[in-house]
Amino acid sequence: MVSKRVYIDHLKNVALFSECSRKDLERIASRSDVVDLPAGRVLMYEGKSGSEAFVVLAGQLAVRRKGRKVAELGAGSIVGELALLDQGSRSATVDFITDCSLLVVSRQALLGAVAEVPALSHKLFAALAGRLRNVDGRNYV
Protein backbone atom coordinates (compact mmCIF):
# COMPACT_ATOMS: atom_id res chain seq x y z
CA MET A 1 0.00 0.00 0.00
CA VAL A 2 1.30 3.44 -0.93
CA SER A 3 1.84 5.88 1.93
CA LYS A 4 -0.66 8.74 2.07
CA ARG A 5 2.33 11.11 2.18
CA VAL A 6 2.67 10.58 -1.57
CA TYR A 7 -0.50 12.64 -2.05
CA ILE A 8 0.69 15.71 -0.15
CA ASP A 9 2.30 17.21 -3.27
CA HIS A 10 -0.98 16.76 -5.13
CA LEU A 11 -2.88 18.58 -2.38
CA LYS A 12 -0.27 21.34 -2.22
CA ASN A 13 -0.84 22.13 -5.91
CA VAL A 14 -4.62 22.49 -5.49
CA ALA A 15 -5.70 26.13 -5.05
CA LEU A 16 -8.04 25.36 -2.14
CA PHE A 17 -5.14 23.93 -0.12
CA SER A 18 -2.41 26.29 -1.34
CA GLU A 19 -2.25 28.20 1.96
CA CYS A 20 -1.86 25.03 4.04
CA SER A 21 1.40 23.93 5.65
CA ARG A 22 2.91 20.54 4.96
CA LYS A 23 1.66 19.37 8.37
CA ASP A 24 -1.89 20.55 7.50
CA LEU A 25 -1.69 18.66 4.22
CA GLU A 26 -0.51 15.54 6.04
CA ARG A 27 -3.58 15.73 8.27
CA ILE A 28 -5.87 16.01 5.26
CA ALA A 29 -4.09 13.27 3.29
CA SER A 30 -4.17 10.87 6.23
CA ARG A 31 -7.97 11.17 6.31
CA SER A 32 -8.41 10.78 2.54
CA ASP A 33 -8.87 7.75 0.31
CA VAL A 34 -7.74 6.93 -3.23
CA VAL A 35 -10.05 5.44 -5.83
CA ASP A 36 -9.37 4.29 -9.38
CA LEU A 37 -12.34 4.50 -11.74
CA PRO A 38 -12.80 3.63 -15.43
CA ALA A 39 -13.45 5.89 -18.40
CA GLY A 40 -17.09 6.49 -19.21
CA ARG A 41 -18.30 6.53 -15.62
CA VAL A 42 -20.04 9.54 -14.05
CA LEU A 43 -18.44 10.91 -10.89
CA MET A 44 -21.20 13.35 -9.90
CA TYR A 45 -24.48 14.68 -11.26
CA GLU A 46 -25.50 18.32 -11.47
CA GLY A 47 -28.18 19.12 -8.90
CA LYS A 48 -27.45 16.14 -6.64
CA SER A 49 -26.03 16.69 -3.17
CA GLY A 50 -22.47 15.77 -2.31
CA SER A 51 -20.17 15.68 0.68
CA GLU A 52 -16.74 15.16 -0.83
CA ALA A 53 -14.24 16.68 -3.21
CA PHE A 54 -11.93 14.85 -5.58
CA VAL A 55 -8.33 15.70 -6.40
CA VAL A 56 -7.34 14.29 -9.79
CA LEU A 57 -4.12 12.28 -9.44
CA ALA A 58 -4.18 10.91 -12.99
CA GLY A 59 -6.59 10.95 -15.92
CA GLN A 60 -9.00 13.39 -17.59
CA LEU A 61 -12.49 14.48 -16.53
CA ALA A 62 -15.19 16.37 -18.42
CA VAL A 63 -17.28 18.99 -16.58
CA ARG A 64 -20.76 19.62 -17.98
CA ARG A 65 -23.38 22.19 -17.04
CA LYS A 66 -26.88 21.74 -18.39
CA GLY A 67 -25.49 19.09 -20.73
CA ARG A 68 -22.86 21.40 -22.25
CA LYS A 69 -19.19 20.65 -21.76
CA VAL A 70 -17.59 23.62 -20.00
CA ALA A 71 -14.19 22.25 -18.99
CA GLU A 72 -11.75 19.37 -19.02
CA LEU A 73 -9.73 18.69 -15.90
CA GLY A 74 -6.55 16.69 -15.42
CA ALA A 75 -3.99 15.83 -12.79
CA GLY A 76 -3.71 18.49 -10.09
CA SER A 77 -7.30 19.67 -10.46
CA ILE A 78 -10.00 19.51 -7.81
CA VAL A 79 -13.70 19.01 -8.42
CA GLY A 80 -16.60 19.13 -5.97
CA GLU A 81 -14.84 21.32 -3.42
CA LEU A 82 -17.92 23.39 -2.57
CA ALA A 83 -19.44 20.26 -1.02
CA LEU A 84 -16.69 20.39 1.59
CA LEU A 85 -18.12 23.66 2.81
CA ASP A 86 -21.89 23.37 2.52
CA GLN A 87 -23.05 19.95 1.26
CA GLY A 88 -25.16 21.79 -1.29
CA SER A 89 -26.13 20.65 -4.75
CA ARG A 90 -23.43 19.87 -7.28
CA SER A 91 -23.07 22.67 -9.81
CA ALA A 92 -22.06 20.34 -12.65
CA THR A 93 -22.03 16.78 -13.90
CA VAL A 94 -18.53 15.31 -14.09
CA ASP A 95 -17.61 12.18 -16.03
CA PHE A 96 -14.41 10.34 -16.87
CA ILE A 97 -12.86 10.82 -20.30
CA THR A 98 -10.09 8.37 -19.39
CA ASP A 99 -9.44 5.98 -16.52
CA CYS A 100 -8.79 8.12 -13.46
CA SER A 101 -7.14 7.96 -10.09
CA LEU A 102 -8.69 10.32 -7.52
CA LEU A 103 -7.91 11.38 -3.98
CA VAL A 104 -11.25 11.58 -2.16
CA VAL A 105 -11.46 14.26 0.52
CA SER A 106 -14.69 13.98 2.48
CA ARG A 107 -16.32 16.83 4.34
CA GLN A 108 -16.02 14.79 7.52
CA ALA A 109 -12.28 14.31 6.96
CA LEU A 110 -11.72 18.01 6.34
CA LEU A 111 -13.78 19.02 9.37
CA GLY A 112 -11.79 16.53 11.46
CA ALA A 113 -8.55 18.18 10.38
CA VAL A 114 -10.00 21.62 11.13
CA ALA A 115 -11.16 20.47 14.58
CA GLU A 116 -7.62 19.31 15.28
CA VAL A 117 -6.10 22.56 13.99
CA PRO A 118 -8.67 25.39 14.03
CA ALA A 119 -6.29 27.80 12.27
CA LEU A 120 -6.58 25.56 9.20
CA SER A 121 -10.05 27.01 8.57
CA HIS A 122 -8.54 30.49 8.12
CA LYS A 123 -6.14 29.15 5.48
CA LEU A 124 -8.99 27.44 3.62
CA PHE A 125 -11.11 30.61 3.74
CA ALA A 126 -8.20 32.67 2.40
CA ALA A 127 -7.66 30.26 -0.50
CA LEU A 128 -11.37 30.13 -1.26
CA ALA A 129 -11.63 33.92 -1.21
CA GLY A 130 -8.75 34.09 -3.69
CA ARG A 131 -10.50 31.65 -6.02
CA LEU A 132 -13.75 33.61 -5.83
CA ARG A 133 -11.92 36.83 -6.66
CA ASN A 134 -10.39 35.17 -9.72
CA VAL A 135 -13.78 33.93 -10.91
CA ASP A 136 -15.37 37.30 -10.23
CA GLY A 137 -12.60 39.07 -12.15
CA ARG A 138 -13.03 36.78 -15.16
CA ASN A 139 -16.77 37.46 -15.27
CA TYR A 140 -16.31 41.23 -15.44
CA VAL A 141 -13.37 41.55 -17.82
Q: What does the H/E/C string look like for the chain? A: CCCHHHHHHHHHCCHHHCCCCHHHHHHHHHCCEEEEECCCCEEECCCCECCEEEEEEECCEEEEECCEEEEEECCCCEECCHHHHHCCECCCEEEECCCEEEEEEEHHHHHHHHHHCCHHHHHHHHHHHHHHHHHHHHHCC
Size (the chain), residues: 141
pLDDT score at 84:
80
> Per the domain annotation, does 140 fall within a domain?
no
CATH number of the CATH domain containing 103 = 2.60.120.10
Q: Whole domain around residue 56: which residue ranges?
A: 4-134
> Per the domain annotation, does 139 fall within a domain?
no
> Per the domain annotation, does 108 fall within a domain?
yes
> Per the domain annotation, does 37 fall within a domain?
yes
pLDDT tens, residue by residue, 19-35: 888 888 888 888 899 99
Q: How far, in Å, are 1, 43, 67, 116 from residue 71 at the CA level?
A: 33, 15, 12, 35
- pTM of the full predicted structure? 0.84
> Per the domain annotation, does 141 fall within a domain?
no
User: What is the count of structural domains for the chain?
Assistant: 1
> Per the domain annotation, does 54 fall within a domain?
yes
> Per the domain annotation, does 129 fall within a domain?
yes
What is the overall mean pLDDT for the chain?
A: 87
> Per the domain annotation, does 18 fall within a domain?
yes
pLDDT tens, residue by residue, 107-134: 888 888 888 888 888 888 887 777 777 7
pLDDT score at 125:
82
Side-chain-facing half-sphere of 42: CA atoms under 13 Å: 9
pLDDT tens, residue by residue, 44-93: 999 999 999 999 999 999 999 999 999 999 998 999 988 887 878 999 99
